[in-house]
Amino acid sequence: ELGTGTQRQSVRTSTYTAQPMAIELPLRGRTRAKATVSAVAETPGIVDEVHVTKGRKVAIGDPLCTLDQGTRAAAVTQAQAGLEQARAALAQAEADAEINAELRSKGIAAPNTARQADVAVTAARAAITSAQAGLDNAQAELDRTEIIAKVAGVVQDPIAVAGAMLAQGQPCATIVQLDPMVFIGQVPESRIRLARLGLDATINTVTGQSVVGKVTYISSTADTATRSFPVEIELPNEDG
């Protein structure tokens, strides 16, 4: 209880809500393409046509070079004929097996002839599997004469020329993947504890643009000369 001479005092309270704070960590660095990919020939052949030029943007699946088909188209036709023959042989084997079963049910054919009929059907089915594999291989080899872009980007040198012979593994064209771009910077040793994979990062370019990306790589070791840690930040670059 308050005494008669005691004055009442007012108390003010304030409620504070925790708010996330941005970590400001100025970095200097440079940007580079995410990857440079060589579109190589998967089969040897003479270049019939080149569909791209240096500096052209390409999407995944765009044609880059066409190689001479040689005998590959004929090989596909031959494999298709082989598959049809195998299917016909299976149909005949199955028909023979049905006739054999009917003859055995009437006592005309010997019981031990059933196994011979079953073996013939099994062999015919195996022949179809082999013929289908041969057709698939022949078609895949024909498809390899069309070299397409596996990534989106901008075409750069080296580019093959029509009439040139490409060995297996030689490039038809080189594609620079520009979306996303990668910013490479250095974090001082004293601030590396603030860096985390997946953190949002804002990059201000020399052209005055601000681009938001994410930290995708932090080196586990520091540069011996600068005592700083290399980091990489992926930046969207839809305009390529």
Q: Quick one: which of 93, 201, 77, 221 has its CA closest to 139? A: 77
CA distance 64 to 147: 6
| Dihedrals phi, psi of 112, to nearest 5 degrees | -75, -5
* pLDDT given at position 4: 56
User: At residue 175, what are phi and psi to the nearest 5 degrees?
Assistant: -115, 125
Please, are residues 213 and 180 in contact by the beta-carbon 8 Å criterion?
yes
pLDDT score at 132:
97
pTM: 0.71
Residue among 172, 158, 174 at smallest CA distance from 37: 174
Alpha helices, DSSP H only, in 37-175? 72-105, 113-143
Q: Which of 28-42, 49-63, 199-213 bottoms out in mean pLDDT, i.e. has the lowest?
A: 199-213
Residues 31-48, mean pLDDT to the nearest whole number: 92
The pLDDT tens digits of the residues spanning 184-222 come to 988 888 888 888 899 888 888 777 788 889 999 999 998
Question: What mean pLDDT is predicted for residues 92-113?
Answer: 89
pLDDT band, residue 106 (cuts 50/70/90)? confident
d(CA 35, CA 153): 9
* Residue bearing tokens 């057709």: 135
SS3 210: strand
The tens digit of pLDDT for each residue in 108-151 reads 888 888 899 999 999 999 999 999 999 999 999 999 999 999 99
Predicted local confidence at residue 72, as pLDDT: 95
User: 3 falls in which pLDDT band (50, 70, 90)?
Assistant: low
Angstrom distance (rounded) from CA 188 to CA 224: 12
